[in-house]
């Protein structure tokens, strides 16, 4: 009897072993690779006001952005790149610029360089809108429409931002210009009105970057001196360069802060007094913090 029980148990064990040997092994769950998060692409199109001309900003960190003309400019795009990295954001930054030129020039002669898909495009027009007819927005509005349509063909969701720049001191305080004697705020406000009109006219435009209004706010808050021709008041910054036309390092820094805040939605004040670009470019912590506050207030005022 005991022998029969042993034989039965042995048969059961052998059958179980055979079943395990013939049952296919369950494959371990395969890991699905997480998609790689590509950086957002942003393109700056403009002239010397985007290049950072006549300041230490012009060639600063040019190796960290892509100059489509291979001219070696860093400029405001490089400042934007630095701010995004400090904020923990990933942007692939490119620029296509030509000093003294309008958006019409870029569309007519350079569009083969940037005719591709972009996530964000920043367009900066000539400082008086039209060299032959200062203050006339007609060509500006047409060029914005042409460029906006081009970019929307490549990416229907592209975000196109128009940069409204600052009052040129040489146009405000010297005779013979449309803005002579009208006060330092007037030219920037006219440029902003033209950008707003271009936005209303062209559905491809997402917004207007109020750089000129940030300059005006800095003048009103006495962070910056509004008239470089009578000397710069102690404790105030000069936002213009030596030609009273282009921006100084502080002026371009403010331009980049407003652009950064508008495009990313990040509060420029979070960059802080010890912000790296300001330190490298020789701006004091107090001035950096003051300009960050101006940029924040201007963007919040919308």
Task: Measure the CA–CA gap between 253 and 300, rounded to whole angstroms.
Answer: 18
Strands across the sheet containing 66-67: 66-67, 91-97, 40-46, 120-124, 159-164, 205-210
User: What pLDDT does 38 receive?
Assistant: 85
Which residues are paired to 66 by β-bridges? 94
User: What pLDDT does 70 receive?
Assistant: 98
| ∠ Cα 228 209 206 (to 5°) | 165
User: What pLDDT does 36 receive?
Assistant: 67
User: What pLDDT does 35 receive?
Assistant: 60
- Which of these, 162, 180, 173, 176, lies nearest to 240 by C-alpha position? 173
Task: Measure the CA–CA gap between 32 and 18, rounded to whole angstroms.
Answer: 34
Task: Please give the C-alpha separations between residue 41 and each of 64, 72, 148, 155, 160, in angstroms, as whole numbers.
Answer: 13, 19, 16, 12, 12
- Per residue of the chain (302 residues), give pLDDT as tens: 444 344 454 454 445 444 444 444 444 455 656 566 789 999 999 999 999 999 999 999 999 999 999 999 999 999 999 999 999 999 999 999 999 999 999 999 999 999 999 999 999 999 999 999 999 999 999 999 999 999 999 999 999 999 999 999 999 999 999 999 999 999 999 999 999 999 999 999 999 999 999 999 999 999 999 999 999 999 999 999 999 999 999 999 999 999 999 999 999 999 999 999 999 999 999 999 999 999 999 999 97
Strand bridging mode 66-67 / 205-210: unpaired
């Amino acid at each position: 009897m005991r022998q029969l029980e042993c034989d039965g148990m042995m048969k059961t064990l052998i059958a179980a072993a055979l079943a395990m040997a013939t049952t296919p092994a369950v494959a371990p769950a395969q890991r699905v690779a997480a998609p790689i998060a590509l950086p957002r692409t942003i393109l700056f199109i403009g002239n010397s006001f985007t290049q950072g001309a006549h300041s230490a900003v012009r060639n600063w960190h040019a190796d960290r952005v892509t100059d489509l003309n291979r001219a070696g400019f860093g400029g405001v795009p490089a400042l934007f790149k630095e701010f995004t990295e400090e904020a923990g954001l990933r942007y692939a930054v490119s620029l296509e610029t030509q000093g003294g030129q309008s958006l019409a020039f870029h569309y007519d002669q350079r569009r083969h360089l940037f005719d591709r898909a972009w996530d964000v495009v920043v367009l900066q027009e000539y400082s008086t809108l039209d060299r032959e007819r200062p203050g006339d927005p007609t060509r500006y509005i047409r060029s914005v429409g042409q460029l906006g349509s081009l970019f929307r063909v490549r990416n229907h969701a592209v975000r196109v931002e128009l940069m409204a720049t600052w009052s040129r001191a040489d146009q405000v305080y010297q005779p013979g210009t449309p803005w002579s004697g009208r006060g330092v705020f007037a030219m920037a406000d006219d440029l902003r009105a033209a950008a707003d009109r271009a936005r209303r006219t062209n559905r491809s435009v997402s917004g207007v970057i109020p750089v000129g209004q940030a300059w005006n706010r800095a003048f009103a808050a006495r962070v910056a001196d509004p008239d470089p021709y009578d000397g710069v008041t102690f404790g105030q910054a000069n936002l213009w360069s030596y030609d009273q036309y282009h921006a100084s390092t502080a002026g371009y820094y403010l331009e980049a802060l407003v652009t950064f805040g508008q495009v990313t939605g990040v509060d420029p004040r979070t960059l802080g007094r010890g912000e790296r670009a300001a330190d490298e470019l020789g701006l004091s912590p107090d001035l950096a913090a003051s300009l960050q506050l101006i940029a924040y207030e201007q963007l919040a005022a919308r």
